[in-house]
Amino acid sequence: MKIGIVGLPNVGKSTLFNAITKAGAECANYPFCTIEPNVGVVAVPDERLAGLAALYNPKRVTPATVEFVDIAGLVKGASRGEGLGNKFLAHIREVDAILHVVRCFAEENIVHVEGSIDPRRDVEIINLELILADLETLGKRIEKTRNMAKSGDKKFLDELDLYLKIQKGLEEGLPVRALSFSQEEQELVRELFLLTEKPVIYAANISEKELATAGGENPWVAALKTLAAREGAEVLPICAALEEEIAQLDEEDKKVFLADLGLKESGLDRLIKAGYDLLGLISFLTAGPQEVRAWTIKKGTRAPQAAGKIHSDFERGFIRAEIVAYDDLMACGSYTVAKEKGLVRLEGKDYVMQDGDVALFRFNV
């Protein structure tokens, strides 16, 4: 999963991104830790890894990871290619979801680029750039399709209708994700790779004091929620400054620190969960004496494709999978007992993987 961080200057993006890189450095035992300066990798929190590690005593425990890309240069005028604008739009094209950071904290001495705090205006400034970029993409497509539709071919006429409908929505300021489509249309829409089709989470950057009530009293958070509801998006209250502190603590200290604040999880952990939900992702696990590991897949992924996440040979030569649900395995206390009790199932190529499946793949080389 790859998430792009956008937002106006001075809203707390770098602070949050620093928290991400620090949290990533804490669990640096995976090979792809630092990639580029604007990319941070963090572990997907998963208590099942510790459970399996206790059973297998492996050499390595490798969590699933999420990549965050800091797309700091997306500012007013980006869609017109001012400065490095277009390059940043290209970055957005590559992410699975967008994290839109919005300033909802007061703090007099931190200047707001637009002069006042107003989440609605801020969100609209950024969204407008994305909408303008999409209108450009779409404009070219409409022109092409119009030419092809001259033949009277119904397929092209239908496509043209759809594109015009999207264009109208965008012109009214609606991101593509806020529009509704039939299944068939959805597939065509996906092929356009529009920026405003990407699912979004709005991170309301609030002050530390407000965190315990999740910004419940904060009028800016309320305004942001209204706006997000229009496009079916979620608002996640965080305090970027506090995340930076939390990210430097080890697991134990982190728990104590959060409990003192009346919180169960860090904002970053909540964010990763929200991203999983938004994108329909689940994790399956592999376990052995060498390594216990979590892998991210889309809900609905079948066994051979899940195996392919580990190695392409596993998918190509897939024979079957031995699957046991994590809870069953833990209840039995060992793989052998789980097998004796018939809880380890043999599944074929049509098996749809479930969250928390502990899998062993059999394959031909």
What is the nearest approach in angstroms of ligand GDP to the Cβ of residue 44? 23
CA distance 11 to 18: 14
The contact mask relative to ligand GDP for 17-56 (x = CB under 6 A, - = no) is ----------------------------------------
Q: Which CB, 162 or 247, lies closer to ligand GDP?
A: 247
Instruction: Name the residue among 258, 300, 252 with its Cα closest to residue 280.
Output: 300
Mark the segment that binds ligand GDP (CB under 6 A) among 6-14, 301-309, 319-327, 355-363: 6-14
Query: Is position 14 an interface residue for ligand GDP (rule: CB under 6 A)?
Result: yes
Q: How far apart are CA 69 and CA 90, in angstroms?
A: 12
10 is in an annotated binding site: yes
Stretch that binds ligand GDP, among 20-28, 133-141, 238-246, 338-346 (CB under 6 A): 238-246
Closest CB to ligand GDP among 11 and 306?
A: 11
- 107 lies in the site for ligand GDP, by CB under 6 A: yes
Residues between 241 and 270 that touch ligand GDP (CB under 6 A): 241
Which residues within the stretch 176-195 sit at the binding site for ligand GDP (CB under 6 A)? Answer: none
CA distance 240 to 208: 9
Closest separation in Å from C-beta 40 to ligand GDP:
13
To the question of whether residue 15 is assigned a binding role by annotation, the answer is yes
Q: Are 117 and 103 in contact (CB under 8 A)?
A: yes
Element (H, E) at 252: helix 251-260
Say if residues 212 and 243 touch (Cβ distance below 8 Å). no
Among residues 123, 224, 235, 240, the one that binds ligand GDP under rule CB under 6 A: 240
Cβ contacts of residue 277 below 8 Å, gap of 6+?
A: none
Site for ligand GDP in 108-147 (CB under 6 A): 110
Nearer to ligand GDP by C-beta: 105 or 220?
Answer: 105
Q: How far apart are CA 334 and CA 257, in angstroms?
A: 34
* Tokens at 120, concatenated: 């609605």
Place of tokens 């920026």: 195
Under the criterion CB under 6 A, does residue 356 sit at the interface with ligand GDP? no
Beta strand 291-298 with 60-62 is: parallel
Q: Which is nearer to ligand GDP, 103 or 302 (CB)?
A: 103
In whole angstroms, what is the distance from residue 100 CA to residue 128 CA?
A: 13
Binding of residue 10 to ligand GDP (CB under 6 A): yes
**13 known member of a binding site:** yes
**Of 339, 350, 296, whose CA–CA distance to 46 is shortest?**
296
Q: Determine if residue 76 is labeled as part of a ligand binding site.
A: no
* Binding residues for ligand GDP restricted to 200-219, rule: CB under 6 A: 205, 207
- Closest to ligand GDP by CB, 128 vs 325, is 128
In angstroms, what is the minimal distance from the CB of 363 to ligand GDP?
46
Q: How far apart are CA 247 and CA 258, in angstroms?
A: 11
Contacts of 35 (CB under 8 A, 6+ apart): 41, 67
Q: Any idea of the CA torsion for 330, 334, 340, 346, to the nearest 10 degrees?
A: 70
Residues near ligand GDP (CB under 6 A) are 7, 9-15, 105, 107, 110, 205, 207, 239-241
Query: Residue positions in the annotated binding site for ATP?
Result: 10-15
Query: Residue positions in the annotated binding site?
Result: 10-15
